[in-house]
């Protein structure tokens, strides 16, 4: 079983050469930060991930969770690791200093998040949900609630959750039935049940702060009648100490395909007198407040795809170098399987995909930093537009790609990959849920087409394509990158053509457009990945013009980009054919044709 190693070389390349450090250094609160500091923090994150989180990853998967009278016990070593995690400050890197956060940029917390998830996805999900709760409270709650709950959430002393899904509603949040009854003192009594609540109950923290969507008695139907409530596991006294237990219980935990060390809970609110909750934001506008939490959570879930692809790639690469099997087709001598052509193809596919996804994740995080911190309002708006456009693409493309890459990781191991003792099956099992979290791929695709392309009239997409064409010009100027430039230019044209086509389709038949929206989203993701590789290749070639100790790394950057453009990018032509021609054959297929 391999040991996790943080991808520090690739992260260093991105931070030093692909991110706009000059602009980042001018942002409010980031003036004194440097790449050297970022790299130092990432190095320490790598040590923590390798030494503390990685050793309990496989054991946590095997041991799983225990529940006794509503109390959940996490696997051996997890609670202790959490205490070390928060003491080291890994939980609040980019949170507001006003409540105890470190105020560092999203680019840094995003990179740290990948490292930690690569070592132990189940463990990191607790802090990820807490950060989401903090963001929603910070955005919409009253000052009183902020002062009372944020300091201990930010410190990691308390955990946080998001409660949307119900047994009868699923992704149709507007159909939820959890009720909230207003009390004379301004609080509310919450009654209902929520399912699939990540870390809804655990032993990491003394208190858990649940954010719960519920409906007031006189609320309008659908999503316009949903309010958001803060419901603590233990009530909090005026002096900040813990009071009596609230009427909220974990009634069971799910038995899942993967993430066995992350409790997925069924939560009951108000089985007795009613769980006490406090309104967050305005009445009937809870979904907007929760969406702040959900939007950044989608970036985090996309990072799960990056992290598990990296972990699977490392294991496959180590095994391929060690496993001697068969002979070389030219020399007839026994060789390690990395010398076999198809194993090499699989490893290159994994490497090319994870580098594209990682680079895109940090581009989005950089845009998020600029949208929050830049002095110019127009720049903030411009950058937020890029974030809004790319998050559904990244979330869906990265998590769908992870299913393919972690499967390749198993295949590189051959039959041993199917055996749990090698550990690589866990990466696939842990990756499966990511395509569902925070909205399935279909939901992300509907958001991309309906809101980010059609409703926006393609304005942010035009900005993105403009950035791609700037990179294209750089690659076209290089005699060494002409093959990459040729493939990339054709891909940009395919993206432009299919974006216009699906927007027109949406206006004519929304159902037909949505039926091919997932192929369209994957096309966008693959082209955006090509853009990231083209940027990397251009920068690597520039750096190779000067003497460098990283010659092999930089050359590998160019050759990996070449592989992506020649092999992976070709998938867009099949997807484009689907976008052009498959809508009616899907929508006109009658229910009875599926069989009895």
β-strands 324-327, 334-336 pairing: antiparallel
pLDDT at 566 over 90: yes
3-state SS, residue 210? strand
Q: How do residues 340-383 score in pLDDT, each as one tens digit?
A: 999 999 999 999 999 999 999 999 999 999 999 999 999 999 99
pLDDT at 176 over 80: yes
Residues 6+ apart with CB under 8 A from 586: 512, 515, 516
To the query of whether residue 438 is one of the catalytic residues in this protein, the response is yes
Domain match, 36 and 170 both? no
Instruction: Decide which of 297 and 14 is more confident.
Output: 14
Whether residue 171 lies inside any domain: the answer is yes
Domain match, 118 and 240 both? no
Out of 114, 304, 310, 438, pick the active-site residue: 438
Residues 6+ apart with CB under 8 A from 282: 227
> Is 435:396 a contact under the CB 8 Å cutoff?
yes
**Last residue of some domain: 137, 172, 201?**
137
**Last residue of some domain: 254, 284, 314?**
284
Q: What percentage of residues in the chain have a pLDDT greater than 70?
A: 99
Q: What is the mean pLDDT of the chain?
A: 95
Domain match, 88 and 170 both? no
Q: How do residues 451-467 score in pLDDT, each as one tens digit?
A: 999 998 999 999 999 99
Q: How do residues 126-147 score in pLDDT, each as one tens digit?
A: 999 999 999 999 999 999 999 9
Whether residue 343 lies inside any domain: the answer is no
Domain match, 184 and 55 both? no
* Residue 81's CATH number: 1.10.540.10
Would you state the pLDDT for residue 500?
A: 96
Structure tokens at 243: 């009071």
Q: How do residues 222-235 score in pLDDT, each as one tens digit?
A: 888 899 999 999 99
Give 27's pLDDT tier (boundaries 50, 70, 90).
very high
Whether residue 357 lies inside any domain: the answer is no
**Last residue of some domain: 284, 310, 337?**
284
Among the residue ranges 26-30, 258-262, 312-316, 498-502, the one predicted with the least confidence is: 26-30
Domain match, 469 and 580 both? yes
Domain match, 124 and 180 both? no
Return the beta strands (E) in 118-269 as ranges: 158-163, 179-182, 188-198, 207-214, 227-232, 234-236, 242-245, 248-253, 264-269
Among the residue ranges 136-150, 158-172, 193-207, 277-291, the one predicted with the least confidence is: 158-172
Whether residue 561 lies inside any domain: the answer is yes
Angle at the Cα of 23 from the Cα atoms of 19 and 26, rounded to 5 degrees: 135
Q: Find the domain containing 540 and state its range.
A: 440-590
Give 13's pLDDT tier (boundaries 50, 70, 90).
very high
Whether residue 96 lies inside any domain: the answer is yes
pLDDT at 563 over 70: yes
Would you state the pLDDT for residue 170?
A: 63
Domain match, 120 and 250 both? no
Give 221's pLDDT tier (boundaries 50, 70, 90).
confident
For the chain, the domain total comes to 3
Domain match, 184 and 128 both? no
Would you state the pLDDT for residue 223?
A: 80
Whether residue 353 lies inside any domain: the answer is no
Whether residue 394 lies inside any domain: the answer is no
3-state SS, residue 334? strand
Give 171's pLDDT tier (boundaries 50, 70, 90).
low
Whether residue 378 lies inside any domain: the answer is no
- Spatial distance between the Cα atoms of 4 and 317, rounded to a whole number of angstroms: 12
Residue owning tokens 């300091």: 151
Domain match, 116 and 227 both? no
Which DSSP string corresponds to 381-431?
HHHHHHHHHHHHHHHHHHHHHHHHHHHHHHHHTGGGGGSGGGSHHHHHHHH
Would you state the pLDDT for residue 415?
A: 95
- Spatial distance between the Cα atoms of 227 and 290, rounded to a whole number of angstroms: 9
Domain match, 576 and 532 both? yes
- Spatial distance between the Cα atoms of 443 and 446, rounded to a whole number of angstroms: 5
Domain match, 99 and 205 both? no
Q: How do residues 55-88 score in pLDDT, each as one tens digit?
A: 999 999 999 999 999 999 999 999 999 999 999 9
Give 596's pLDDT tier (boundaries 50, 70, 90).
confident
β-strands 207-214, 158-163 pairing: parallel
CA count, 13 A, side-chain hemisphere, 160: 29
Read off the DSSP letter of residue 60: H
Domain match, 168 and 68 both? no
- Spatial distance between the Cα atoms of 8 and 14, rounded to a whole number of angstroms: 10
* Residue 278's CATH number: 2.40.110.20
């Amino acid at each position: 079983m391999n040991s996790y190693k943080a991808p520090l070389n690739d992260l260093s390349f991105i931070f030093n050469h692909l991110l706009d450090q000059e602009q980042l250094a001018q942002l409010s609160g980031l003036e004194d930060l440097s790449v050297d500091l970022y790299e130092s923090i990432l190095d320490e994150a790598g040590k923590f991930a390798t030494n503390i989180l990685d050793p309990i990853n496989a054991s946590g998967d095997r041991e799983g969770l225990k529940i006794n009278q509503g109390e959940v016990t996490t696997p051996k070593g997890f609670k202790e690791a959490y205490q070390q995690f928060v003491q080291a400050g890994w939980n609040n890197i980019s949170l507001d200093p006003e409540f105890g956060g470190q105020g560092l940029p999203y680019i840094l917390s995003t990179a740290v998040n990948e490292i930690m998830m690569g070592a132990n996805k189940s463990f990191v999900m607790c802090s990820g949900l807490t950060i989401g709760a903090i963001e929603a409270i910070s955005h919409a709650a009253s000052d009183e609630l902020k002062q009372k709950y944020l300091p201990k959430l930010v410190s990691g002393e308390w955990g946080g959750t998001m409660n949307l899904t119900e047994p009868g509603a699923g992704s149709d949040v507007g159909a939820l039935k959890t009720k909230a009854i207003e009390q004379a003192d301004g609080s509310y009594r919450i009654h209902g049940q929520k399912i699939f609540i990540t870390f809804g109950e655990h032993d990491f923290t003394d208190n858990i702060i649940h954010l719960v969507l519920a409906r007031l008695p006189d609320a309008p139907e659908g999503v316009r009648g949903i309010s958001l409530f803060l419901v603590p596991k233990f009530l909090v006294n005026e002096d900040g100490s813990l009071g009596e237990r609230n009427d909220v219980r974990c009634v069971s935990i799910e038995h899942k395909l993967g993430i066995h060390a992350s409790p997925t809970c069924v939560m009951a609110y108000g089985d007795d007198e009613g769980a006490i909750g406090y309104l967050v934001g305005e009445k009937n506008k809870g979904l907007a407040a929760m969406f702040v939490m959900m939007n950044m959570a989608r970036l985090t879930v996309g990072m799960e795809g990056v992290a598990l692809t990296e972990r699977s790639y490392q294991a496959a690469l180590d095994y391929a170098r060690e496993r001697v099997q068969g002979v070389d087709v030219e020399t007839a001598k026994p060789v390690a399987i990395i010398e076999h052509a198809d194993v090499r193809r699989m490893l290159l596919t994994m490497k090319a995909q994870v580098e594209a996804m990682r680079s895109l994740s940090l581009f989005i995080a950089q845009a998020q930093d600029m949208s929050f911190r830049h002095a110019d309002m127009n720049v903030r708006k411009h950058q937020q537009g890029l974030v809004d456009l790319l998050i559904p693409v990244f979330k869906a493309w990265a998590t769908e790609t992870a299913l393919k890459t972690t499967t390749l990781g198993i295949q590189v191991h051959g039959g041993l990959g199917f055996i749990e003792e090698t550990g690589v099956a866990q990466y696939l099992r842990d990756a499966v849920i990511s395509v569902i979290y925070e909205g399935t791929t279909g939901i992300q695709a509907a958001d991309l087409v309906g809101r980010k392309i059609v409703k926006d009239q393609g304005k942010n997409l035009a900005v993105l394509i403009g950035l791609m064409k700037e990179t294209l010009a750089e690659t076209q100027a290089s005699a060494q990158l002409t093959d990459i430039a040729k493939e990339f230019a054709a891909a940009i044209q395919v993206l432009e053509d299919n974006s216009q086509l699906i927007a027109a389709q949406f206006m004519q038949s929304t159902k037909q457009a949505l039926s091919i929206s997932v192929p369209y989203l994957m096309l966008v993701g693959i082209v955006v990945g090509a853009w990231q590789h083209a940027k990397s290749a251009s920068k690597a070639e520039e750096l190779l013009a000067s003497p460098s100790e990283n010659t092999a790394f930089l050359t590998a950057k160019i050759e990996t980009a070449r592989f992506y453009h020649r092999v992976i990018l070709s998938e867009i032509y099949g997807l484009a054919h689907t976008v052009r021609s498959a809508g009616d054959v899907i929508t006109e297929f009658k229910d009875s044709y599926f069989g009895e």
